[in-house]
Structure 1
Amino acid sequence: MTAKKPRPGLAIAALSLGTALNPLNSSMIAVALVVLREHFELDVATVTWVITSFYLASAAGQPLMGRLADRFGPRRLFMFGMALVAVTCAIAPFLPNFALVCVARALMAVGTATAYPSAVVMVTELSKLANLPSTRPLGRIQMANTSAAAVGPVVGGLLVSLVGWQALFAINVPIALLALLVVRQTAPADSGRETGKLGQLIRDSDIPGILAFVTSLMLAMMALLNVLPGYRWYLLGAATVIGALFAWRELRFQPPFLDLRLLGRNRPLLLVYLLFVVFSGVYYFAFFGLPQLLQEAGNYDAGVVGLLMLPLAALSVVVTPLTVRFIERFGVRSVLITGVLILTVAAGTLGFLTMTLWAPLVFVLTALMGVPYGVVSTASNQGLYVSARPEERGVAAGIFQTCRYLGAITATVLIGVLYGPGVNQANWGIMVLVMLGLSAVVLVLAVMWRKPAV
């Protein structure tokens, strides 16, 4: 399958559209939990599997899809992912039971996980064709991620109220098909990727290493999410053992799925990963913890809480193009450090909510928190791009997305612990102190990061 004459502007737009599907489906499902419980007659614990299945498949699938994009070509992988999303979402509304709905959500996650790594791999060639610095298309992709997460609950609420939970699947079909068709027509054809006999390619693909990585990550995340109460420590122990076996194999197999020796030597890339995990933890502390405080301690209606939280995501969309310009002028590191300093200030101001939950104040503080999210996310994204070798940007981008999920899940677990005695302003104050501590860690990592020498 060959592409017509490449049109980089349209290709970047289509890649951004496909990239938006993962955060969109991650966030808009939250408004359908009550409806799903009633439709399938479920309890609260069971219905959360519709979220957990998506998170687990996304976190485990991103690095794998990145590896496949590096090896076999980002264009064909992106189109395969969008086709998988379209087919799965066309069937899902007619599934007869909740277990199959969770399977469909997992397949959606795998399909949408192809988009971001594929887009990052294609950025270099598309930037050259469009005569643009790489920061521009990366900025547009980041805007797609952020804006999709922002509008997810709003879009989901409208679809569920007007049509039903089935619409949350159906809406993906035209979007995925549009992204697929536009990329097929406008993106440059894959070149310089591996070809040959299927058997040889499979033997060289490090299938045991891939399975060990995915299994270890999924077991660790299941332990963090406590999806099997009473078995958390067994799951964590199994994840540790399998992770050790994965590291042992990767140090001996050629070519490895994940080159641990190279990763160990690539200090800038490791710092980007660590920074993004901790930063995501700070962000999701606010994103998940604050709504609960407003509803339970402030007695705000869920709809009002949604409006009060909207500036957090909306401001991050607004500042993203400005951040791109600042990176081009001042460099990644300067912008990254500045963003983290703003993050620290914004996290500290959330401490005012221990004294009052006055709606205008909440609105202003959530808007302020959205600024560092846009700045640090965009700068981290560019830091990843310049830190990874061109031939490994796919798998590097996949791991980067997994870092987001690890930070989000860690924040969720800690919120559960800190809110355990009660969702009140006193415990929110403790959470703010934790956020400040994590912000300090992010600042140290940002100062340590240096752009690799060319």
Structure 2
Amino acid sequence: MRQTVTVSNEPRTGLAVAGLSLGTALNPLNSSMIAVALVVLRADFGLDVATVTWVITSFYLSSAAGQPLMGRLADRFGPRRMFMLGMGLVAVTCALAPFSPNFSLLCVARAVMALGTAAAYPSAVVMIGAIAQRAKLESSRPLGRIQMANTSAAAVGPVVGGLLVGLVGWEALFLVNVPLALAALLIVRQVAPADEARERGSLGELVRDSDIPGILGFVGSLLLVMMALLNVAPGYRWWMLGAGTLIAALFVWRELRFSPPFLDLRLLGRNRPLMLVYLGFAVFSSVYYFVFFGLPQLLQEAAGYDPGLVGLLMLPLATMSVLATPWAVRAMYRFGVRRVLIAGVVLLTAVAGLMWLLTGSLSIPLVLALTALMGIPYGVVSIASNQGMFVSTRAQERGVAAGIFQTCRYVGAITATVMIGVFAGGGVDQGNWGLMVVAMLVLSMVAFLVTLLWRERTD
């Protein structure tokens, strides 16, 4: 007999949203905590900048591939079931990861952990629809709470990571996930709405419908292009770039013909507003992660600050992101999603330009001011883009749409980490930071132009 969960009761509704928020926050938390551990990992494993970025890239590649797939599985087999499965995978992986004997296995552990966290967000978006409907709430309210949790987790990640690395070591970055994942699993199991009747099928049908060739093509093309840009194998750089481009073309050709596709390109083709939300969010994310991953390395290598202090210097970003998110939710009610989104991107461009000041000084007051300013557009653009994605899709497509939305975040982050490796292969200093600022300004202008083109769906 199926369990029935009543969510109209406000405490249970709030607890369900809290459990979903905790689970979805693990992905941004783990993507950001690692930022202050890169220098330590380089020293422990004897790596250069380009190589150590694979601990970030492996996480984002797995997340980018996992989010659309997990979104489709949540739509098909039930979001509550997929959420709990993901949290269980995170707990087991993070309990074993600290015992990795080499850097390669550490990257594998990060990839598996990312796959588990990838199940959380698309599953939560689907469950939020049911929670909001039964509790008679506007969907933007619980979505806003989840976004606040995600924004806060991503922003406080360097602070938490700096403290954990400074007091315990990089191993603590994995272990801290075990109790958090188990808590999210238990809360959602107890109070989240039970899954409605969904498809059931054999393992063979699941594998066949999962579009494994599509997933491999997506990951393979990204991997080859990144390896070419980072010049991992100098003698084969152009061969890898050509192969990556060819595989990407074959991937697009297949996805337009396969049903159901891993990455629903047809959904984008028939939904221009959604496509623009994705494109704008990917470009925005590349600017943000330039700062998020580049600045901690600049502060540690050029200024000589220790990881704990660097984490604290990133704290204003967390604070302002948290404060900006509820303001943005209220502003969207009053002015609409598009105006709030445009305002956030304009502010992003201004802050990116101010980052040039760090080429002349790395003083603590200046760093604190700039990280605080960066927190505002991060909170505003993230929640506005999230709401733009939500209103641009039909209810039955939101699991897949949410997965692709998160993939856009990871594509932006991967772009930033690759470009950091290109600009600063031997280490981040004030000279190559100036080149990164120029790249951020160009990307900010692209995000602004895309945002101007976006309109809410009227059908």
Q: TM-score, normalised by structure 2?
A: 0.88
Is the deviation greater in 315-324 or in 101-110? 101-110
User: Per-residue deviation at 1:358?
Assistant: 3.9
> Taking structure 1 as reference, are residues 250 and 59 closer, same or farther at Cα in structure 2, changes over 3 Å only?
closer
Within 5 Å, give how 1:237-276 maps onto structure 2: 237-276=242-281
User: Per-residue deviation at 1:192?
Assistant: 4.4
Partner of 1:389: 394
> Taking structure 1 as reference, are residues 353 and 130 closer, same or farther at Cα in structure 2, changes over 3 Å only?
same
Counterpart contact for 2:60–2:413, Cα < 8 Å:
no
Partner of 2:342: 337
Partner of 2:420: 415
Distance 1:291 1:30 in 2: 7
Amino acid in the other structure paired with 2:286: G
> Taking structure 1 as reference, are residues 130 and 10 closer, same or farther at Cα in structure 2, changes over 3 Å only?
same
1:264-294 Cα distance to aligned partner (Å, 9 max, x none): 1211111111101111122122223334444
User: Tell me, what secondary structure is at the counterpart of 1:452?
Assistant: coil
> Taking structure 1 as reference, are residues 202 and 296 closer, same or farther at Cα in structure 2, changes over 3 Å only?
closer
Is the deviation greater in 149-158 or in 83-92? 149-158
Within 5 Å, give how 1:6-17 maps onto structure 2: 6=7, 7-17=12-22
Partner of 1:122: 127
Counterpart contact for 2:161–2:311, Cα < 8 Å:
no
Identify the match of residue 113 of structure 1 among 114, 118, 122: 118
Distance 2:451 2:53 in 1: 35
User: Per-residue deviation at 1:425?
Assistant: 4.8
User: Per-residue deviation at 1:113?
Assistant: 0.9
Within 5 Å, give how 1:71-82 maps onto structure 2: 71-82=76-87
For these two proteins, the number of residue pairs brought into alignment is 453
Counterpart contact for 1:9–1:130, Cα < 8 Å:
no
Is the deviation greater in 139-148 or in 107-116? 139-148
Partner of 2:140: 135
Partner of 2:62: 57
Amino acid in the other structure paired with 1:5: T
Is the deviation greater in 262-271 or in 341-350? 341-350
Distance 1:423 1:162 in 2: 25
Distance 1:100 1:298 in 2: 31
Partner of 1:406: 411
Distance 2:61 2:26 in 1: 16
> Taking structure 1 as reference, are residues 225 and 65 closer, same or farther at Cα in structure 2, changes over 3 Å only?
farther
User: Tell me, what secondary structure is at the counterpart of 1:191?
Assistant: coil
> Taking structure 1 as reference, are residues 394 and 304 closer, same or farther at Cα in structure 2, changes over 3 Å only?
same
2:107 matches 1:102: yes
Partner of 2:179: 174
RMSD: 2.8
> Taking structure 1 as reference, are residues 233 and 140 closer, same or farther at Cα in structure 2, changes over 3 Å only?
farther
Within 5 Å, give how 1:4-403 maps onto structure 2: 4-6=5-7, 7-33=12-38, 42-44=46-48, 48-224=53-229, 226=231, 230-298=235-303, 300=305, 302-403=307-408
Q: Which segments of 5 or more consecutive residues in structure 2 lack a partner in the other structure?
A: none
1:370-418 Cα distance to aligned partner (Å, 9 max, x none): 1111101110111111112322222222222222222222223333444
User: Per-residue deviation at 1:228?
Assistant: 5.1
Distance 1:29 1:446 in 2: 30
Distance 2:435 2:126 in 1: 41
Q: Which segments of 5 or more consecutive residues in structure 1 lack a partner in the other structure?
A: none
User: Per-residue deviation at 1:445?
Assistant: 1.1
1:169-224 Cα distance to aligned partner (Å, 9 max, x none): 22211111111111111111222422244444544443433443343344444445
Is the deviation greater in 93-102 or in 182-191? 93-102
Q: TM-score, normalised by structure 1?
A: 0.89
Counterpart contact for 1:61–1:214, Cα < 8 Å:
no
